Structure formats: structure tokens, C-alpha cells
């Protein structure tokens, strides 16, 4: 993998907020255009590798940008809270757990094919760590499961919403949505199936098959239609994911260090001092969810049971960037 010289020059000369806007904008431009279903495997992989140029920059020359991430990137939780308070009529949010920019083409194409009006489509940023509970807490929920069966209460940022959280089939989800004017529905997919793709020969390729099956099928769009019935709807995610099965293995010394700290994960909450490598292979960041140590960039290592082929929580673009798509029924 090599870095585009013009990209490096541009990012090096920009203030952190502008650099992050360029990084997210480029990732969106790469990932969001329509995909021919017959070419989905190769195209999704190609786009993932193209975004890898951004990760290479961030892991080497631009690693200090991560300390400015929260102050520079429009975070999904903040965008949702702002959007929610600005809507005077019916409104709904569909959170798909671990929805990445890779899935944006299928959502945008499906909305167009089924007669929706897309009012906004852009990337927003996950919390750090890019995990489920920090996102839930940033919205005022104690955890994801608190939304189940309208159990979230009223002390959160999406005031007045009826809530639910489940992993049941899309048709059953649609049946759960009543006529209440405000809804927040958090579905566990695709996060709940990521580790089903850990076997050799699976990973991003087999997940792509699953994504196409779900997001081009009538069952999923039945839920979208129900949520958008009399409501403006936002579809988004709490975080993305890394196709870590495609990452290069670290060398022996780095492997021993990373395995000792992170096991088979992408972040650690003990706030230890980072390693002594330059450029750094991990970063200690002070976030609004506390101090955490994060794996920096696209790297994996040999670990007991094998390193996951799909995971999240580290510092790569497709782990932290998610779609934020606002639509309504015509």
C-alpha cells in the first residue's frame, strides 16, 4: 500500500478539523457510490483497500490527528441529538449495530428504488472507543439493552421516544413498531453476526453476501417503511468495523507486545503507557469516555484462537465512520 502524494500534502497543510473533514469526505466518496450486485465481492474489497490509504496516513504521518478526533469530527450521537430536537413532527431513528460506510450504497440505492426521499446522506463519527456502550451512554442510555420493550425511561437525549432493541427478524421488528410519533429502534445486526464470519475463507467476502441479502430484501425495507410512516427517519450506526482479516501481521516483537495488552481486541481500558515504537503502534487517548489505549492503524497479530477477521474498537477510518442517512416516504 502506498500513499497518494497529493493527499498527504493536502492533509499535512490542513488544520485538524479540516483534515478530518477531508478524511471523512474521501472515505464517503469511495464507499457510498452504487455497487453492481454481481460485482459486490470485488468492489467492496477494492473500496476497503482504497480507504486503507487514509489509515496508512493516520497511522504514520498523521497519527497526532487522533487526539483531535472528538473536537473535529461530527459525532453521530451529537448529530442525532441535534436532529431530534429540531424535528417538530413525527420522527424515528433506526440504529444498526456496527453499520459501516461499506453498507451505505445498499441503503441509498434501496431508498431510491422504493420511492423514499433522501434528505441527507453523510458520514458521522463513532465514540471512542468505537463500541456499543459508549455510544449508548453518549445518548443518555445506560446501555443498549435499556432500550428494549420501551425501557429507556425519559432521562436521555431523544426525549419522548418509544424505544426497542432486539435481534429478531425484520418482519417481526416491523410488527413491533406502533403508531407513536417518536421511535428509536436499535437492531443488533450486523454486529451480532460478525464473528460468524471468522472461519478461514470468510470475513469481508461472506459478510458482503449477508449484507446484500438483508439490505436489498423486502423484509428489511418493511421495517424502514413502518418507521417512516408519518415520520422523518434517520438510519445510522453506533460504530463501524474493521476487516482485520485483511490486515498485515505485526512482527514478532510487536506481536508479543500487542497480544499482551490487547489480547484479540482493539482497545484496552487500563490506560497503560503506549509502546515505544515510532511511528506508534498504539495510542493513549483522553476521550469523553475516559482514558483508553487503542491499536493504531491496520495491524493484527497471532493470538490464541486466531485474531478475528471482523472487529471494531481500534483506530481506523471504517471502524469510526458510519452513515447518517435521513429519509422520508414520498
Q: pLDDT for 188-246, tens place per residue? A: 999 999 989 988 778 999 999 999 999 999 999 999 999 999 999 999 999 999 999 99
Q: pLDDT for 28-37, tens place per residue? A: 999 999 999 9
How many CB atoms are located within 10 Å of the residue 327 CB?
Answer: 23
List the Cα angle 285/286/291 in 5-degree steps: 85
Cα–Cα distance measured from residue 38 to residue 253, given in angstroms and rounded to the nearest whole number: 42
Strands (E), 194-313: 232-236, 267-268, 282-287, 290-295
Cα–Cα distance measured from residue 145 to residue 133, given in angstroms and rounded to the nearest whole number: 10
Helix axis angle, 40-59 to 5-12, nearest 10°: 50
Q: pLDDT for 51-89, tens place per residue? A: 999 999 999 999 999 999 999 999 999 999 999 999 999
How many CB atoms are located within 10 Å of the residue 195 CB?
Answer: 12
How many CB atoms are located within 10 Å of the residue 44 CB?
Answer: 22
In the predicted structure, residue 3 carries a pLDDT above the cut 70: no
Mean pLDDT, residues 2-28 taken together:
90
Residue located via cell numbers 429478531: 168
Q: How far, in Å, are 17, 72, 158, 287, 317 from residue 139 at the CA level?
A: 23, 19, 7, 16, 22
Cα first-last separation, the chain: 44
Mean pLDDT over each residue of the chain, to the nearest integer: 95
In the predicted structure, residue 156 carries a pLDDT above the cut 70: yes
Work out the percent of the chain whose per-residue pLDDT is above 90: 92
**Chain centroid offset of residue 70 CA:** 15
Amino acid at each position: 500500500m502506498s500513499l497518494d502524494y497529493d493527499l498527504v500534502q493536502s492533509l499535512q497543510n490542513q488544520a485538524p478539523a479540516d483534515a478530518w473533514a477531508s478524511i471523512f469526505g474521501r472515505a464517503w466518496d469511495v464507499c457510498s457510490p452504487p455497487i453492481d450486485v454481481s460485482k459486490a465481492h470485488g468492489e467492496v474489497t477494492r473500496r476497503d483497500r482504497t480507504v486503507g490509504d487514509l489509515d496508512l496516513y493516520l497511522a504514520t504521518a498523521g497519527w497526532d490527528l487522533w487526539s483531535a478526533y472528538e473536537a473535529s469530527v461530527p459525532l453521530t450521537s451529537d448529530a442525532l441529538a441535534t436532529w431530534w430536537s429540531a424535528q417538530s413532527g413525527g420522527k424515528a431513528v433506526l440504529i444498526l449495530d456496527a453499520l459501516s460506510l461499506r453498507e451505505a450504497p445498499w441503503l441509498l440505492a434501496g431508498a431510491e428504488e422504493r420511492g423514499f426521499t433522501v434528505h441527507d446522506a453523510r458520514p458521522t463519527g463513532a465514540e471512542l472507543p468505537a463500541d456499543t456502550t459508549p455510544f449508548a451512554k453518549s445518548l443518555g442510555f445506560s446501555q443498549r439493552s435499556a432500550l428494549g420493550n420501551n425501557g429507556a425511561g425519559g432521562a436521555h437525549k431523544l426525549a419522548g421516544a418509544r424505544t426497542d432493541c432486539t435481534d429478531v427478524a425484520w418482519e417481526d421488528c416491523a410488527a413491533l413498531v406502533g403508531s407513536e410519533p417518536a421511535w428509536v429502534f436499535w437492531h443488533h445486526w450486523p454486529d451480532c453476526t460478525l464473528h460468524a464470519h471468522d472461519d478461514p475463507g470468510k470475513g469481508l467476502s461472506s459478510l458482503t453476501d449477508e449484507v446484500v441479502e438483508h439490505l436489498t430484501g423486502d423484509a428489511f425495507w418493511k421495517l424502514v417503511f413502518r418507521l417512516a410512516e408519518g415520520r422523518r427517519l434517520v438510519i445510522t450506526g453506533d460504530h463501524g468495523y474493521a476487516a482485520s482479516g485483511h490486515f498485515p501481521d505485526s512482527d514478532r516483537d510487536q506481536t508479543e507486545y500487542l497480544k499482551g495488552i490487547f489480547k484479540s481486541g482493539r482497545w484496552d481500558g487500563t490506560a497503560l503507557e503506549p509502546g515505544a515504537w515510532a511511528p506508534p503502534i498504539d495510542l493513549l487517548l483522553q476521550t469523553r469516555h475516559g482514558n483508553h489505549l487503542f491499536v493504531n492503524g491496520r495491524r493484527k497479530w497471532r493470538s490464541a484462537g486466531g485474531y478475528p477477521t471482523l472487529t471494531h474498537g481500534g483506530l481506523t477510518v471504517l471502524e469510526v465512520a458510519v452513515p447518517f442517512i435521513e429519509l422520508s416516504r414520498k
